[in-house]
Amino acid sequence: MDIFSYSFMQNAFIAGTLVALLSGVIGVFVVARGLSFITQTFSEIGFAGAAFSIFMGWGPMAGLFLFTTGSALAVSQLGLKTFQREVAIGVVFSFFMGLGLFFLSISARQANSAMSLLFGSILGISDGQVWILSGLSIGILMVLLAGYRWLLIDTFDPVGAEARGLPVRLISVVFLIVLSAAVAGTLQIVGSLLVFALMITPAATARYLTNKVSLMIACSAGLAVAGVWLALFLSYATNWPVTFLITSVETLFYFAARLWRK
């Protein structure tokens, strides 16, 4: 039977494509700005927020956005350089993971929810979630497009950005908020433990393929989408977990690009 004859596969392809495009584009700036670890931290905080929502009987997205956006604002107040150097972030990372597991442990739906939040549930995406992810992805991409020039200069020429009088602090704060929202969307696809699979790996791969930023963004987005599509087809054929296949395909792309560069 045709893979697209199933509604859940249609939703998986639509949601996966949207999130992959978003992750591929924003991931280039995440890697260039050295925010990979903060991205992972946002995912763990988002996991705690989603678990809190499940405990309260809300939709997971409410807690995801509440916790990730709140953490983005907190990081912006603390300062990125301080945050990146601060050893205590490891403690914060562990605390929110434990907090998420605590909320799930006292919820009647903890078993399925834990697997979904930790490892993603792309095959369980509903029609409503597809619409939410569509709006989220389009909104974030429009924000990135509107501020592309400023973000580009601030990311790849921070000294020049200050010399030109660009509002570098505002750029940083807005980007952190946008990143936290993107992580909230990505978490539903690959889970909090594997956000790197779509947010970081394709962008890191693209850096081995080109030095031009526009091509790097295109390559990163293309690799992310290709990884999701290939993983969905392989999962349909083998019945293997989609998230495992996404991470495996993206990792293969990464090492292939490194070998090609050498």
**Confidence check: pLDDT of 142 > 80:** yes
Q: CA-to-CA distance for 208 and 139, rounded, in angstroms?
A: 29
Beta strands in the chain (DSSP E): none
pTM attached to this predicted model? 0.86
What is the Cα gyration radius of the chain? Answer: 18
What integer best gives the mean pLDDT of the chain?
Answer: 84
Least confident of 85-89, 116-120, 204-208, 211-215: 85-89
Contact call for residues 175 and 29 (beta carbons, < 8 A): yes
Please compute the mean of the pLDDT values over residues 78-91 and round it to a whole number. 57
Least confident of 106-110, 220-224, 251-255: 106-110
The answer to whether residues 191 and 116 touch, using CB atoms and an 8 Å cutoff, is yes
Question: What average pLDDT score do residues 156-178 get?
Answer: 89
In this prediction, residue 207 has a pLDDT band, given cuts at 50, 70 and 90, of very high
Query: In whole angstroms, what is the distance from residue 183 CA to residue 50 CA?
Result: 12
pLDDT tens digits, 27-68? 999 999 888 878 878 887 888 888 888 778 777 778 888 888
